[in-house]
Amino acid sequence: MLKKYLIKNATVVNEGTSIVTDVLFYNGIIQKVGHKYAEPDFEVINGTGKYLLPGIIDGQVHFREPGLTHKGDLYSESKAAVAGGVTSFIDMPNTLPNVLDIKTLAEKYELASKKSLANYAFFLGVNGDNIDEIINIDTSQLMGVSDDGLYFTKKGNLLADNPETMEKLFSNCKSIIAIHSEQEELVEKYEQIFRKRFGEKVPVEFHPMIRSTEGCYQATKQAIGLAKKHNARLHILHLTTEAETHLFQNSIPLKDKKITTEVSVHNLWFCDKDYERLGMLIKWNPAIKSENDKNGLLKALLDDRIDIITTDHAPHTLEEKNKTYFQAMSGAPLVQHSLNCMLEFYKQGKISLEKIAEKMCHNPAILYRMENRGFIKEGCAADLVLVDMNKSWKVTKKNILYKCGWSPLEGTTFTTKVLQTFVNSNLVYHYGQFNENIKGEALKVKQSNEY
């Protein structure tokens, strides 16, 4: 029988407030928020001194299944996710085969229903090859379409490089268009310059010069211009520069925005000073940039020009990372530690707990029009994470759950710990133990944008 849980006296962080209260949940749903006496059939959890947040919704992950499962898979990476308090994710289309049609998309949902411990959704891939099909299908029920990662398979397929494809897409697509915003042409120009200078062994410190601020800024500016022209629903993925933050607005509520953006945790945590210490391990696309960019991104997050926080969790094997510049894969795993990183910023006084809940829980649900997710309120799905705000632990190979077995955060001491994670009112993560019997659900798209 499914259990009924009553968390008593936890500090509930939700919708701008942190209040000590009780939360009762069962049958997948939050039944009551507010003082509640225990009944005989409730399992009571003492939340005294602990913090309860809505489960984290990560809007950008690469779980690598199907086709790239030597790096990660829907089971291993969703397990790492729930251990980090992440209860829902949206996965990118650059798996193999690329998700470029509805049939492949449906197969991915089918796989996840059997393997994922967290709730899931998938982007439909879009590039120069399938644009004519995409504009002819009803995309209104999709979580979104995206080109992220697809340009690796074929040069010139990045949307930002194809104004013609973009025009077609923006004038026809009804769903969110989430794009990786960099001018590949400019990247190639700088690649050639640095290849001439260093040959194959370009030091990774030059990565932010090759994948430059200019290339990001110009691509983002152009995409926004096109989206405005066609009144399209544009989301710029993983912003990396301070310059780009000034292209976004904070004067209207998120639910009414047509142009939105995100920052990934590594762009708040690392900067170019870390290349010396971590080398190719923090080679990401777009590149991690300067300290000024890092600070500017946080500022834009706090004043709501940036709407959500994601990870761009992108596992590769160490073998794939430890190569020379042009050969080393871009991307790194992060989904297990994103909440810990943000809570560390809270402890440093850089962000409030309420803002973390807004950017990691409420806003992804609003932005992607998710039905019934992202809040601790009655009637909402019981996706919850209980956190100890005063427990230190160190990231080591032993406690990393990613299939690839490493993290750029190895050796980092966090001072907060995820204790329990509930997905649809099921206790899937409990003090280091997992309940793997119950799987997550497919995330649904809401029909209206009322919140």
Chain positions contacting Zn ion, by CB under 5 A: 148, 312
Closest residue to Zn ion, based on beta-carbon distance? 312
- For residue 333, whether the previous peptide bond is cis, meaning omega lies within 30 degrees of 0, is no
Min dist. Cβ of residue 169 to Zn ion (A): 18
Would you say 148 or 262 has its CB closer to Zn ion?
Answer: 148
CA distance 235 to 237: 6
Would you say 148 or 244 has its CB closer to Zn ion?
Answer: 148
- Residue 83: what residue type? A
Would you say 33 or 176 has its CB closer to Zn ion?
Answer: 176
Would you say 331 or 374 has its CB closer to Zn ion?
Answer: 331
Tokens found for residue 199: 């040959």
Min dist. Cβ of residue 61 to Zn ion (A): 8
Coil, helix or strand at residue 403? coil
Min dist. Cβ of residue 181 to Zn ion (A): 12
Tokens found for residue 429: 């993560």
420's CB contacts (< 8 A; 6+ apart) are 45, 385, 386, 427, 429, 430, 431
Would you say 52 or 236 has its CB closer to Zn ion?
Answer: 236
- DSSP of 230-294, one letter per residue? HT--EEE-S---HHHHTTS--SS-GGG-SEEEEEEHHHHH--GGGHHHHGGGG--SSPP--HHHH
Min dist. Cβ of residue 62 to Zn ion (A): 6
Would you say 38 or 96 has its CB closer to Zn ion?
Answer: 96
CA distance 134 to 144: 11
- DSSP of 233-246, one letter per residue? -EEE-S---HHHHT
Min dist. Cβ of residue 253 to Zn ion (A): 27
Cβ atoms of 4 and 22 within 8 Å: the answer is: no
- Residue 129: what residue type? D
Min dist. Cβ of residue 238 to Zn ion (A): 6
Would you say 47 or 408 has its CB closer to Zn ion?
Answer: 408
